[in-house]
Amino acid sequence: MKNFKKFALTLVCTAVLSACNGDDGKDGAVGAAGPQGEQGAAGQNGVANYVTAEDVVQTNAQHAYAVFADSLIAAKAMQKAIDAFVADPSEANFTAAKQAWLSAREPYGQTEVYRFREGPIDALTEVDGQPTLVDGEGPEGAINAWPLAEALIDYTIDMDGHQARGTAAVYQAGGNIISDQENFPEITKQLLQDKFELDGEEANVTSGYHAIEFLLWGQDLNQDLTYTSTRDYTAGHRKASDFYTIDNMPTDSNGATCTSGEQGAIDAICARRGQYLKVAAELLVDDLQAVTEAWTPGTGFHYLEYVKPENAKKNLGAMLESMGRLSFGELAGERMSIAVRTDSQEDEHSCFSDNTHRDIYLNAKGVQNHYLGKYTRINGEELVGASIHDLLVKEGKPELANELRAALEASMASASVIDTNAKLGVSFDVQIQNEDRKKEVYATISALATQTDLIQKAIDELGVSAEDLKQDTEEDI
């Protein structure tokens, strides 16, 4: 993707937005008299009743840059940790690389509300060497696709402890890129791109966060699809020795040599595994770089188009549609309902690392951010601007504004229970086996469905256009 000169984000952070705190009043009157004594002409702090759709979209564009830039910063930190680990695969460096992956997921989870519209994450590509948008051609899948058929990438072990093997001709039967030196003598970014969704199979994922996750954690080999066996509370158990080579043997190797789930693997295979991990991280950074550049204020081609006043109403509708579709079809449906209904840890978003609780929480947080016009950067800086909430108040719909805000808070409270349970040691794959914990998961699904209905009301009341908010899942929610 062509590089663009970057400009620092300039954002006026409005410290006081009355519509985000306290009583919103009735019939469009917000608080007491405005600064000139005009009753209801301005909010408690003289802001909400002057907000326009253009203001809301401008804030949304600036926050898009911030959250994707944070994702890029965190991905580069992860890439640095991975490079250090592959060079010296000590236990300390292995732990640091995995922690860097977990940290990189924190901002990215909040970007997903920018999907489900013709924006850079879903549509960015190149035509004649120039960045452009073609719906469905964006890097989202290469960045975050799941679940993945891990046997395409590396060795896998079945539930009976038998290692699956094969050749390039029989990937689906257990072959993998890392072991196939004959057909793939070099592991490159182009190879990973070429084999992505091999044979049209969406599960044949070769790149992105979850390919990296698999290479760092390995399979989470707990019992699945049964209530007779209890899953343990741990994530995948890949050994650091899966990356040992003659040239990088760490001082804490304790006599171990290259492994591929078992002792005595060919040294070249461990070297290839490290190369795959590095290439996947590099490709992820490239993809996030391109999306961030497209959103860069002042220079990003998509940013410049997005904030044009004549596009405000269309993009306001796109914001609300993305909020609803992420809430209902993607998060409540595909990421939660299927997993809990089928008791399938394979259908949890970050199944190798057991980080699914954060995926759920952060996706829900991204929707709330969109509504409130807020985003807290990874350095702690809080960005606050004109919001959909403000706009609803200004348009004389304070009851709906408060109702939707409360629904979003209820969803966050429910998602926080899932998150807290996992932090207390009950990972999401265990929660969906426990009857009491399952009720809490279903409560979050229900809360997300409720907020989706209210998002639809906001679409109707604001007179903007949006596609069906419930089109992305066949789950009966």
The domain 18-168+172-182+189-197+276-462 having CATH identifier 1.10.3470.10: the answer here is: no
Band of pLDDT at residue 11, cut at 50, 70 and 90: very low
**pLDDT value for 13:** 39
| Inter-CA distances, 126 with 191, 285, 300, Å | 19, 17, 14
Helices (H) and strands (E) in the chain, counts: 15, 6
pLDDT in tens, 405-455: 999 999 999 999 999 999 999 999 999 988 999 999 999 999 999 999 999
Burial of 381 (0-12, 13-18, 19+ CB in 10 A): exposed
* Cα–Cα distance, 411 to 452 (Å, whole number): 11
Q: Once rounded to an integer, what is the mean pLDDT over residues 74-86?
A: 98
Question: What sign has the CA pseudo-torsion 25, 26, 32, 33?
Answer: positive
Statement: residue 355 has pLDDT above 90:
yes
What's the predicted TM-score (pTM) here?
0.87
**pLDDT value for 244:** 97
The answer to whether 21 and 45 are in contact (CB under 8 A) is no
**pLDDT value for 48:** 61
Burial of 10 (0-12, 13-18, 19+ CB in 10 A): exposed
Write out the H or E segment, with its range, that includes residue 126: strand 124-127
Burial of 477 (0-12, 13-18, 19+ CB in 10 A): middle
Q: Once rounded to an integer, what is the mean pLDDT over residues 304-323?
A: 98
